[in-house]
Amino acid sequence: MNNDRNIERYKRFYIDMNFERAELFGALKKEYGCNTVLYPGCSIHITPSFYFQHVVYVDISEDAKKFFDDINGILNYINSNKKYKQSAYVQFIHGDYTKPLPVREGNYDLLIALYAGGIAQSCKKYVKFGGIILTNNHRGDAKELLKDASI
């Protein structure tokens, strides 16, 4: 897919609709200093990469796969809009986050669990001890986590 069309789609779905959640990610970075992020069910929402240097995106949709196929164009856009000094690291995994992912357990400062069900339960094992799980309680993720004695 043409990079300009890719970025225009991102802008149309997130920036133009004021749905980036940029302030939220900025506040998380400032308050907790998160650097490594896992974002299952991400769709084409790349805003976290403007605030966090290392983000692994996971989605099963073909639409997300097509978007991330132009990883160099996406990285160029992120690097021109990021709020930190290092170069951005972005990885996309085209797969089902309810199945084992090819990432290390206990490796991420932040798990983003927004608008897709079961993320927190399926992916909490990838979060570092003391890490953060950000959820909007879509499909009861937060409620389930509160009952979980393992975290």
Distance CA 72, CA 101 (A): 23
Distance CA 33, CA 133 (A): 14
Identify the pLDDT of residue 1: 45
The length of the chain, given as a count of residues: 151
- pLDDT confidence band for 15 (50 / 70 / 90): confident
For 78-119, how does the pLDDT look when each residue is reduced to its tens digit (9 = 90+)? 999 999 999 999 999 999 999 999 999 999 999 999 877 788
Instruction: Please check whether residue 90 is in contact with residue 55, taking contact to mean a CB–CB distance below 8 angstroms.
Output: yes
Instruction: Please check whether residue 64 is in contact with residue 115, taking contact to mean a CB–CB distance below 8 angstroms.
Output: no
Tell me how far CA of residue 55 lies from CA of 5, 11, 91, in angstroms: 22, 19, 7
Distance CA 72, CA 138 (A): 32
